[in-house]
A and B are shown apart, each in its own frame.
Chain A
Amino acid sequence: MKKYGICMLPLLGLAAVPSSARNVDLSTIPPREGVQLTIYNSEDLTLVRETRTITFKRGLNPLQFSWANTLIDPSSVELRFVTQPDRLELLDTTFPHDKPQMLYWSVHSEIDGDAQIEVTYFTSGITWSADYVCISDTAEDTMSFEGFVRITNQSGEEYADAQVRLVVGTINLVEKVRDLAARGLVSRDEADDFERARGRVSRLGGEAKREMLNEIQLGFAQADRVQSSEKAIIKEGLSEYFIFSVEGSETVPQGWSKRIRLFQGKDVPLRIQYRFRPQEYGEQLVRMFLLRNDSASDLGTTPLPDGVVRLYRDNGRDGLSFVVQQPVKYVPVGQEIELNLGGDPEVIHERVCLRTWRDNFWFHRNGANVYYSPDQGHRIEIHDVVAGWDEHHLWSERIRNYRTKPVDVEIRRSFDGHVLLRSELEATLHDFRSPQFTAQIAAGEKGELEYELVVKNGYNQKQSNVTLEPGK
């Protein structure tokens, strides 16, 4: 039972295209013999490639292709002759003005017999996404890392027994397929009618909808019946893209989603670091799980597409603790995966300004463009005004570690102006205005990471950057 969808009709007895259509038609409906779906995740775009066998007669053969209540871009529909390409010729393609979501092909045939054709088109509404389930061990030394892909079909069409290929990578489109499907090659009013019709389908209720869903669910379940092991997903690179090809075929009924495992890393080593990076994580010390998408980490068979990570921890009491759920961006093979667990009540961070003082004053005398410094032995007059000075702040980053293991901490801050950072800490510059330093705080210990900031103001400001200087 199918009340909507894609249909191909060789029109028998019709010598011409629809301008001469009669009230009585005779047609046959050649079924799909094969379907391949290539689904892109960067755009709402799927390339559908379907094959059918059609019996041609010598001379002119009109073909009707229609796609009622689907999201196909009519400008993308193409016809190719797989067999007998030298003896079949596509003469023209007509989009009738009074029949949206339909076209006619006029094919001239030199044969009287079967030929296999391939119809390709873009549709929107079929999407795929990735998600990841990570479970760390109790000691938080390693984790299992499973990746899944989930295919969702909201295209308005059921593609039974389709080969499925999933494309990772960004492609450029100048127009959205969904817009083209709605607008198509018809007028705005007709496009609105189409949208309303789609709405009626999506709002199907009661028995009709249940009946439809039951039917497709049965088909969906039966499609897997012969499979006794998880489907392999073949991963291969292509230029700037990565393609996952799902083993065998899938039936993806309209409105349904299906989730399949993409890969699994069983003992992925992880490193924990506490980071203070306000520009990335806000004004808090956050706990990071760091792991690497490479073969040494039992991963690295594929880049990780954009997706959602759900992280759990074995709580040591025969159960799990939910840690965090967060999106991750595309991770190439070999790159580090960073999971932000948020603040940790067991590792406390405070920043305290212990002392402030000023020195290195320069004065300006009214009327003369000359600056004077008492430190240079210059005489300062009573009406001289302060033109430049250094402001010193002694800061302490206090870390308390209540965990049973040492913690690695990285502090990164950004400062405006001409700044000198003086410390015994081995600081480095992340960029011209952002010093950073690391420290390890032993289990159960408290650490005070102290540094002096010297901000050069007024006449003293010669730069706009941070300089590092060892010292107390």
Chain B
Amino acid sequence: MHRPSFPRVACLLAGLVGVNPFSSHAAVKLITLPPRERVEIQLDNPNVTLVEEERIVPLAAGVNDVVFAWSNANIDRDSVQFRCLTDPEQIRVLSVSYPPEGGTLTWQVYSPNAGSARVRISYLMGQLDKSFMYRAVAASDERSLTLWQYILLHNQANEEFGVAGMWAGFGERFERPIGIAETRQLLAAKFENVPIRKMYTANLAEFGYLDAGKQQLRIPMHHVLLNDEANGLGKFALMFGKARIFQDDGRGTVAFIGEDWASFTPRDDELKLYLGVAKDVVVVRTIERREQTRVLGHLHDIDVIVKYEIENFKDQAVDLDIVESMRALRAEIRGDSPRDVEWELVADGTLTSAVNKDESTADLAAFRVTLPARGADDKAIKVAHTLHVRIRNEW
């Protein structure tokens, strides 16, 4: 790899007061190149990366030109800040000069005495960014998983920082070297024995039919984990990133069972990782009844019974979430309308007692039912549930 003989980001100091390092007039020039003493890369902002570096700069008494120069590094010149950590009340920046060409600036720094000063230079740097990825290994019983969260640090900034401290905005600060054009994967956090729920969902409006002719619904499967402290998480929001999902096969190895994009998950929210479509849980949805009752004038109510015939061909019981969009249901039975749906559950529907209030809204009616495992004769037990809803005050 080609290594430049001159650092891409450098802090130069004219060794004599009044001698400008770029001046061609000085035939004999002395320029000191204070190396970096410390580098911190702040990755907590989702959009930009802040680099802070400390250098020990020898200053003469009087006004010093401190030149900060970079080449082929994507530094936002307007963001470059100079702070003196040694005697900041006395050692001051008088002004900053920006030459016409980019990649350099000069601080005029006044120091009352000769001596070294520790200075901190901070700047925003492009093409030095991060992303997140996850590795989830579910236990063989699919009741818990171990979750690894990784930070991928991508350095396309054309600058190497040696061993730099980094902080992603959560968790512990860590120190790693990062070279030019490198991507480094760092373990940010590991969460063990996180309880999960395997979720099967019947939601026609969102997921549609698997077989429209038979009115068989597509039943997606998700691993659901709650980002809260009770489940060993909840210390911070989980960032967006790719999640690769594995499962313990019970023989000491793991099997890859798919991957999904993990959405940004605030604390106390659920993270759902999509696993695919269930083939062993069959749900056939039909509208069993549609009856219109006049209320006043042409104002009427519509009585609707939606019937779900469900078979679980698995050898274990599973929970099924049934979600019905009332707007979609009304469109299905009478065409759409600009008005929101006024509806109420009628007590004789079997799902009325299984309502999931936390997930229900003015539009969505949500229920959770448990499906028994297939019988000893390997036959699935067909379960029928009814959603009896009265859609009110339509015209």
Query: In the complex the two chains form, is A354's CB within 8 Å of B362's CB?
Result: yes
With an 8 A cutoff between CB atoms, is B22 at the interface?
Answer: yes
Task: Let me know if A358 and B167 touch, CB within 8 A.
Answer: no
A386 to B300, CA, bound (A): 11
**Contacts A217-B22, A221-B18, A319-B42; A361 near B296 (Cβ below 8 A):** yes
A213 touches B101 (CB 8 A): yes
In angstroms, Cα B339 to Cα A393, docked, is 12
Closest to B110 in A: A228
A346, A386, A393: most-surrounded residue (chain B CB, <10 A)? A386
Query: Shortest distance in angstroms between B200's beta carbon and chain A's nearest beta carbon?
Result: 24
Q: For A229, what are the chain B residues with a Cβ–Cβ distance below 8 Å? A: 92, 94, 110
Query: For the complex, what is the distance from the CA of A352 to the CA of B366, rounded to whole Å?
Result: 15
Say whether A382 contacts B297, CB under 8 Å.
yes
Q: Does A2 contact B (CB under 8 A)?
A: no
Q: Shortest Cβ distance from B179 into chain A, in angstroms?
A: 22
Contacts of A210 in B (CB 8 A): 24
A258 contact from B18, B98, B267, Cβ within 8 A: B98
Closest to B41 in A: A319
B201 at interface by CB-CB < 8 Å:
no
Contact B362 A133, beta carbon cutoff 8 Å: no
B14 to chain A, nearest CB (A): 9
**Which of B20, B101, B297 has its CB near the most chain A CB atoms (within 10 A)?**
B297
Query: Which one, A133, A217, A393, A400, contacts B99 given CB within 8 A?
Result: A217
* Cα(A319)–Cα(B121), bound, Å: 11
Q: Out of A131, A218, A222, A256, name the residue touching B98 (CB < 8 Å).
A: A256
Residue in chain B with minimal CB distance to A386: B395
Given contacts A210-B24, A218-B25, A225-B18, is CB(A384)–CB(B298) below 8 Å? Answer: yes
- Which of B44-52, B137-145, B188-196, B208-216 contacts the other chain? B44-52
- Give Cα A345 to B299, complex, Å: 46
Asked whether B108 is an interface residue with its Cβ less than 8 Å from the other chain, the reply is yes
Is the CB of A356 closer than 8 A to any CB of chain B? yes
Given contacts A218-B25, A400-B266, contact A384 B297 (CB under 8 A): yes
Does B78 reach chain A (CB closer than 8 Å)? yes
In the complex formed, the residue of A with least CB distance to B40 is A319
Which residues in B have their C-beta under 8 angstroms from that of A259? 95-98
Contact of A214 among B17, B24, B124, B361 (CB under 8 A): B24
Cβ of B350 within 8 Å of any chain A Cβ, yes or no, is no
Bound Cα distance A322, B110 (Å): 27
Interface residue A257 (Cβ < 8 Å from any Cβ of B): yes
A348 within 8 A of B: yes
Do A260 and B268 have beta carbons less than 8 Å apart?
Answer: no
Query: With A and B bound together, what is the CA distance between A230 and B297 in angstroms?
Result: 83
Q: Is the CB of B298 within 8 A of A386?
A: yes
Question: Which of A221, A358, A394 interacts with B108 by CB under 8 Å?
Answer: A221
CB-based contact A385/B298 at 8 Å? yes
B169 — nearest CB in chain A belongs to which residue?
Answer: A321
Interface check A276, CB cutoff 8 A: no
Chain A nearest CB, measured from B125 CB (Å): 10
Contacts of B290 in A (CB 8 A): none
Identify B92's interface contact among A230, A312, A352, A358, CB under 8 A. Answer: A230
* Contact, CB under 8 Å: A260 / B362: no
Alpha-carbon gap, A421 to B361, bound state (A): 20
> Given A222-B18, A255-B100, A256-B98, are A354 and B297 also a contact pair (CB < 8 Å)?
no
* Contact across chains for A353 and B362 when beta carbons are under 8 A apart: yes
Q: Any chain A CB within 8 A of the CB of B356?
A: no
B37 within 8 A of partner (CB): no
A214 to B23 Cα, complex, angstroms: 5
Q: Smallest distance from the beta carbon of B213 to chain A beta carbons, Å?
A: 34
- Asked whether any CB of chain B lies closer than 8 Å to the CB of A3, the reply is no
Query: A294 at interface (Cβ–Cβ under 8 A)?
Result: no
Complex interface: chain B residues within 8 A of A298 (CB): none
Most buried by B among A256, A323, A356: A356
Contact B50 A320 (CB under 8 A): yes
**CA of A386 to CA of B392, assembled, Å:** 14
The listed residue (B22, B100, B299, B340) touching A393 by CB distance below 8 A is B340
From A221, A312, A356, contact of B106 by CB (8 A): A221
- For the complex, give the distance between the alpha carbons of A259 and B98 in Å: 8
* Neighbouring B residues of A338 by C-beta, 8 Å: none
Taken together as a complex, chains A and B put the C-alpha atoms of A322 and B79 apart, in Å, by: 10
State whether the Cβ of A317 lies closer than 8 Å to any Cβ in chain B. Answer: yes
Query: Does B36 belong to the interface (CB within 8 Å)?
Result: no
* Contact indicator per residue, chain B 15-32, by CB within 8 Å of chain A (1) or not (0): 001101011110000000
Please give me the residue from chain B that is nearest to A382 by CB atom: B297
Using an 8 Å CB-CB cutoff, how does the interface string of A424-437 with B read, 1 for contact, 0 for none? Answer: 00000000000000
- The 8 A CB mask of A187-206 against B (1 = contact, 0 = none) is 00000000000000000000
Residues of A within 8 A of B340 (CB): 353, 356, 391, 393
**Docked-complex contact A224 and B94, CB < 8 angstroms:** yes
Minimum distance in angstroms from A344 CB to a CB of chain B: 10
Q: Tell which of A218, A319, A322, A394 touches B124, judged by Cβ atoms closer than 8 Å.
A: A322
In the complex, which residues of chain A have a beta carbon less than 8 angstroms from the beta carbon of B40? Answer: 319
Interface assignment of A19: CB less than 8 Å from any CB of chain B: no
Q: Decide yes or no: A402 and B18 within 8 Å by CB, A380-B296, A391-B339 being known contacts.
A: no
- Contact between B42 and A315 (Cβ–Cβ < 8 Å)? yes
| Beta-carbon contact of B297 and A224 below 8 Å | no
* Among candidates A152, A214, A224, A393, residue contacting B362 with C-beta atoms closer than 8 Å: A393
**Contact yes or no, A363 B97, CB < 8 A:** no
Evaluate whether A317 and B167 lie within 8 angstroms (CB atoms) in the complex, with A228-B110, A382-B294 already known: yes
Cβ contact within 8 Å between B298 and A224: no
Chain B residues positioned under 8 Å from A380 (CB to CB): 296-297
A67 CB within 8 Å of chain B:
no
Report whether B173 and A317 are in contact in the complex, using a CB–CB cutoff of 8 Å.
yes
Please report the C-alpha to C-alpha distance between residue A131 and residue B73 in the assembled complex, in whole angstroms. 23
Are B23 and A356 touching (Cβ within 8 A)? no
B342 at the A interface (CB under 8 A) = yes
| A211: interface (CB < 8 Å) | yes
Complex CA–CA separation, A363 to B296 (angstroms): 9
Query: Is B237 on the interface with A (CB-CB < 8 A)?
Result: yes
Q: How far is the CA of A246 from the CA of B391 in the complex (A)?
A: 74
Chain B stretch 141-177: residues in CB contact (< 8 A) with chain A? 167, 169, 173
Q: For the complex, is B62 an interface residue (Cβ under 8 Å from A)?
A: yes
- Provide 7 A-B residue pairs closer than 8 Å at the C-beta atoms, listed in order of the A residue: A255-B99, A317-B167, A317-B173, A321-B45, A374-B296, A380-B297, A386-B299
Given contacts A310-B79, A320-B122, A394-B362, 6 further A-B contacts (CB under 8 A): A217-B97, A218-B25, A221-B20, A224-B94, A225-B63, A256-B98
Q: Which residues of A contact B (CB under 8 A)?
A: 131, 133, 150, 152, 210-211, 213-215, 217-218, 220-222, 224-225, 227-231, 254-261, 308, 310, 312, 315, 317, 319-323, 325, 345-346, 348, 352-358, 361, 363, 374, 380-386, 389, 391, 393-394, 400, 402
Nearest 10 A-B pairs (CB), nearest first?
A255-B100, A384-B297, A353-B362, A257-B98, A322-B50, A259-B96, A356-B340, A345-B237, A380-B296, A214-B24
